[in-house]
Structure 1
Amino acid sequence: MGRLRRSRTHHAQRDVHRASRTRARTRDLDQIQMIDLDPKNRAALEAQPLDYEKPGLAQHYCVECAKYFETDNALRSHWRSKVHKRRCKALREPAYTIEEAERAAGLGREDKRSTHTEQPVLIEPIV
């Protein structure tokens, strides 16, 4: 009896599907640093009006993680969790600017300018 043929329908698709899923996508760190952690915006996010579409009627919100929770106990246990502490530690570091990203990709200018300028060499046409 020969070897059984492997199924080809689900080969390595599970992880790709999980990675591309946007259902549980939260805000990025730079968005949270620039917008949500501003004291005016933070106070508005922590004291939101009732919203029947959001979990917990939008009354239990973690600003650092940009997540809604059903109950106050769930929010308090989230604050003690490792996930929340990691997110807070990542938010303490300054966000990258566009200029830093371009320099890392090799597109931006260096901070130091060259001290000498090269003159273009003119080539005379041969007659």
Structure 2
Amino acid sequence: MTRVRRKRMHCNNKELHHKYKTKRRTKDLDQIEADLLPENKQRLLAQPEDEDLPGLGQHYCIECAKYYIDDRTLAEHRRGREHKRRIRDLKAPAYTQKEAEAAVGLATDNGKALSSSIAGPQSLLALKRKNDAKAAARSASVADSSMIMAE
């Protein structure tokens, strides 16, 4: 009999990996920037007590979007590497949708969309048709030249 493998069966299990990855997920940077606005910040710092949250929801780090049990753990968190990294990331302005579209070539400076011959899947289809036409022309010319030589 062979030995039965009993350990580390979850290494390549994508469902488990996804479950644990999304369990620790917090807000994105653009959502946190909205929370840092003065009216939203006051609302988040003065939350009513909630029994489901750690520390009844009274100790909240806005930059990291996490709740802590008491002030001491919140203060320790603020001295830590993860909090400082998040603050550094928040200092840089977030990308806008207009910048994202400009990066892939979907819009110009005046906001009008570019023609489909420049960007997009239609241009790939047009290139494929053009290459197929060239290949057909080459094969036809080769066939004509072979018939001429045969005569």
TM-score by length of 1: 0.72
Amino acid corresponding to residue 44 of structure 2 in structure 1 = L
Secondary structure in 2 aligned to 1:50? coil
Q: 1:109 to 1:17 in 2, by over 3 A?
A: farther
Task: Point out the structure with the larger helix share.
Answer: 2
Does the 8 Å CA contact 2:10/2:16 hold for their aligned counterparts?
no
Task: Please state if 1:22 is matched with 2:22.
Answer: yes
The root-mean-square deviation of aligned C-alpha atoms, in Å, is: 2.7
Structure 2 unaligned regions, length at least 5:
111-151
Cα deviation digits, residues 29-75 of structure 1 (max 9, x gap)? 00111x20011110111121110011110000000000000111110
Cα deviation digits, residues 81-114 of structure 1 (max 9, x gap)? 0100000010011110101001111212146xxx
Which protein, 1 or 2, shows the higher relative CO under an 8 Å CA cutoff with sep ≥ 6?
Answer: 1
Residue range with higher mean Cα deviation, 17-26 or 67-76:
17-26
Say which one has the larger Rg: 2
Task: Please state if 1:45 is matched with 2:38.
Answer: no
Matched pairs, number:
106
1:28-107 map, 5 Å? 28-33=28-33, 35-107=34-106
Task: Please state if 1:108 is matched with 2:94.
Answer: no
Rounded Cα–Cα distance in structure 2 between residues aligned with 1:63 and 1:37: 7
Secondary structure in 2 aligned to 1:27? coil
